[in-house]
A and B are shown apart, each in its own frame.
Chain A
Amino acid sequence: MTVMDKVDTTTPEVVLRTSAEERRATIIGVVLMALAAVVMGIFAFGVPPDASSTFNMSLPTDSIQGVAWTFNSRIFSAVAGVLIFALGADRLRRRNLKRTNLALGIGLLLFVLALLAWAAADSSFSLVGMLRSTVISSIVITLGALTGLTCERAGVINIGIEGQLLTGAFVAVILSSAFGTWAGVAGAMLVGALLGALLAWLAIRFSVDQIIAGVVINILAVGLTSFLASRVLAEAQDLNAPARVTSIRIPLLADIPVIGPMFFDHTFFVYVTFILVVALHIGFFRTRWGLRARAVGEHPKAADTLGIDVLKVRYRNVIGAGLIAGFGGAFLALAQISRFEENMTGGIGFIGLAAMIFGRWLPFGALAAGLVFGFSGALAQKVGILGTGIPSEFMLMLPYVATVIVVAGLVGHARAPAADGQPYIKQ
């Protein structure tokens, strides 16, 4: 519920909701029309009439080579512009209010394709390369979102994910440099769980406001890792040189064009993340543990009455979620960047939280949202390389702006677990 939704509770709720959805449809209709204007004015008529764009569909390492798609840039963008305009006009007619999100999604996708065609005018662009880096950049975000939802399904808000990722990355780099990759991963997971335990202890034992506890954990993580980095890593450079984690090519599946390089040629971190999404889905919705955890997050008092130990469930979920966050930190430090830098997480834990909200506290939702945010990151990176005249700073803003748009509910409202963030005191 938002502040605005609650303004007048005397009006029948049905009427209020319809008008709110109508207002949203109007806003999104206008947004789509504006996007169509940009596509037409800049992307279609900003390129020479005979310019052609090429999207490469294979990577240099692929077994099937030379798959590419070449087309006239202006015609492509013009068609996209007309389609976006039509979608916007349809929204303004306010029919089929339920399809507003779908229209927005398609509109944004067309907009991005037109942007790419414009950026790649008279040159080529590796579409598959971008999709592959979408998957890679989505992993930490997805793991962050899974951490968040594992805590919040049990009613504990975890703002400290950022700190858990950062500390996990730090420990992973040192232990991996000293004792090998597995020690790094294990150490990162352990320290993630440790910070989870600290959060749970502050929130449950001392009833500290959960958001404050999480923020303080983030500050502690930044301070501690920066302090130790300049004291230990600066002295012993060999501790900041973890071995590179190699990709595992899945036979046959990796040879499929487009899909293969996107999903089946990655480090083990990526596969584990996919398995974790499925496992958490089954865990939360098909097992006794999941039912209990959700009961604790929705109505702790009722759960307590039925004999569930509310505090124990919360401790267990928050500490277990810390393992996931630590694993994410290890991925960031060992597979994605391969060294530790101060503040290397750069807000990605918070983007993970937004992905959790966007994914409606569902594991598969977290994965899908992670891919959307990962796409915005990959887009920023690749379009920046193409050199379009858009200042690179604006491209770098993209994932953060996308996050604001998502939590501002342009893509619809989601409902948090009812007891999310509320301390439970046994009567």
Chain B
Amino acid sequence: MTDTRAPESEATPPPERSPLMDRATGIGTSVARSLLLPTLAVVTALIIGAFIIAFSDIEILRLLFDDPGAAFGQMVAEVSAAYRALFRGSVGSVNALSESLFAATPLILAGLGVALGFRAGLFNIGAQGQMLMGGLAATYVGIYVSLPGIVHIPLTLLAGLAGGMIWGGLAGLLKARTGAHEVITTIMGNFIAVFFMQWILTTPGLQDPGRNNPVSAELAETARLPRLFGADYRVTIGLLIAIAFVFVVHWLLYRSSIGFEFRAVGSNPSAGRYAGMNVAVVVTLAMALAGGLAGMAGANQVMGLEPYKASPALAGAVGFDAITVALLGRSNPIGVLWASLLFGALAAGGREMQGAAQVPIDLVVVLQALIVIFVAAPGMIRTIYRVKGPDEKPTQLTTGWGS
């Protein structure tokens, strides 16, 4: 134990900073080492997923009693077909890569929102609702404003940012003013946002003429995100915008004074208060920015995706995947980028798996949850694979009802 730790503490002189900073940012550990645990987590999740696929096919389970050998053979065949499709659909071709990047784009933005909340000690489960509100605001600007694309696209994105900021900021304000825990208010916000969308998208002026379900009219051509690699591949310049925001959020968190306040309040609100920070403002602003990032993810879903219309289902599962992305990325913007690429690939591959191997795409959600469990409880992976490492101190990212 001491042998492995000693050189590290020499390499990073300030001893009070090293353990926490190492685990939070990955700085100070070698690349191979910081990748070992996540890789093992993904592999373990895939192994468990294989068992779930194998033991959930009724036909095979019936066969198991009559002819175990044949049943076992079929299980192996089914699992390998599923995972081959997963691989093919995520990285197997240029189009698959484009689909993976396309699926990763909103995940990056929404994941950054959740991660930024974590850094300020806030658990934002409301990315889903914030995406809807952002998407709604973007839809208004995308339909009703007519401008050349070079101005219209940024303006529509900004509308998404504003819509999400309002919805997220509301939860932050409630937390700051009344102490209402953001986990409950943001979840309720998700449901309220869905019902609100179901209503407002049927009002005249917003609803697609001739439809009777809640779907908006289509956005003006000038508000649509152009595709990056020609019409054949769906990935848009939204990807570049999302990656740019990775660096913006990184700068905001680690280089700006408001980011310092976010992190200070996040790790110890009392200390922040005694240092003269206005905790109420910090909490509200952090939730608003977190919501704004998710709101831009929502804007991306109407601006970058055919048929360029808003619906109550525009967020898909992105708002919830954003939570797993932020957890897997350890709330670090760069980590969020890698995690989004991984989960984007899983989502694209999952569609191929559902289409080609008839294994429901919901398996991807199970895999994501398992990966996050293993990453959040590194002790589990260490025990399974007997990997040595520094002692884990409990991380307390969130606060309970009492504080």
Contact = CB atoms under 8 A, between A and B. Distances in A.
Interface of A: 1-7, 157, 159, 202, 205-213, 215-217, 219-220, 222-224, 226-228, 230-232, 235-236, 346-347, 350, 353-354, 357, 391, 393-394, 396-397, 400-401, 403-404, 407-410, 413, 415-418, 420-423, 425
Contacts of B359: 231
> Taking each of A2, A157, A216, which has the highest tally of chain B beta carbons within 10 Å of its own beta carbon?
A216
Contact of A3 (B125, B176, B363, B400): B176
If over half of B's interface residues share one DSSP class (helix, strand or loop), that class is named, otherwise mixed; here it is helix
A353 B188 CA distance: 12
Contact of B362 (A202, A230, A235): A230
B338 interface: no
Interface string B88-129: 000000000000000000000000000000000001010000
B376 A208 contact: yes
B360 interface: yes
Nearest to B394: A207
A205 B396 CA distance: 15
Contact of A220 (B195, B369, B378): B369
B52 A216 contact: no
If over half of A's interface residues share one DSSP class (helix, strand or loop), that class is named, otherwise mixed; here it is helix
A128 B191 CA distance: 28
Nearest to B280: A3
B245 to A, nearest CB: 24
Interface in B176-228: 176-181, 183-185, 187-192, 195-196, 198-199
Contacts of B363: 223, 227
Interface stretch (B15-23, B139-147, B320-328): B320-328
29 contacts: A1-B403, A2-B178, A4-B178, A6-B273, A7-B273, A7-B279, A206-B380, A208-B376, A209-B397, A209-B398, A210-B398, A211-B400, A213-B373, A215-B323, A216-B327, A216-B373, A224-B362, A227-B362, A393-B199, A404-B185, A407-B184, A408-B180, A408-B185, A410-B178, A415-B402, A417-B402, A421-B399, A421-B402, A423-B396
A316 B198 CA distance: 43
Contacts of B184: 350, 353-354, 357, 403-404, 407
Contacts of B198: 393
A346 B191 contact: yes
B188 A216 contact: no
Given A3-B176, A215-B323, A409-B178, A397 B192 contact: yes
Contacts of A3: 175-177, 179, 269, 279-280, 283
B394 A425 contact: yes
B149 interface: no
A305 B399 CA distance: 26
Nearest to A407: B180
A416 B360 contact: no
B174 A404 contact: yes
A354 to B, nearest CB: 6
Interface in B256-278: 269-270, 273
A207 B380 CA distance: 11
Contact of B196 (A215, A347, A397): A397
A353 B370 CA distance: 24
A230 B360 contact: yes
A216 B375 CA distance: 11
B177 A4 contact: yes
A232 B56 CA distance: 7
Nearest to A354: B184
A404 B185 CA distance: 6
Which of the four size classes fits the interface of chain B? 35 or more
B58 A236 contact: yes
A235 B379 contact: no
Nearest to B364: A223
> Taking each of B179, B199, B280, which has the highest tally of chain A beta carbons within 10 Å of its own beta carbon?
B179
A215 B369 CA distance: 9
Contacts of B396: 209, 422-423
B401 interface: yes
Contacts of B324: 216, 219
Contact of B188 (A157, A350, A423): A350
Nearest to A214: B183
A207 B397 contact: no
Given A357-B401, A400-B191, A394 B379 contact: no
Contacts of B283: 3
Contacts of A206: 376-380, 392
A425 B174 CA distance: 33
Contacts of B2: none
Instruction: List the 9 shortest-distance A-B pairs measured between CB atoms, nearest first.
Output: A2-B179, A223-B365, A421-B400, A207-B394, A206-B377, A227-B362, A220-B369, A393-B199, A223-B366
Nearest to B199: A393
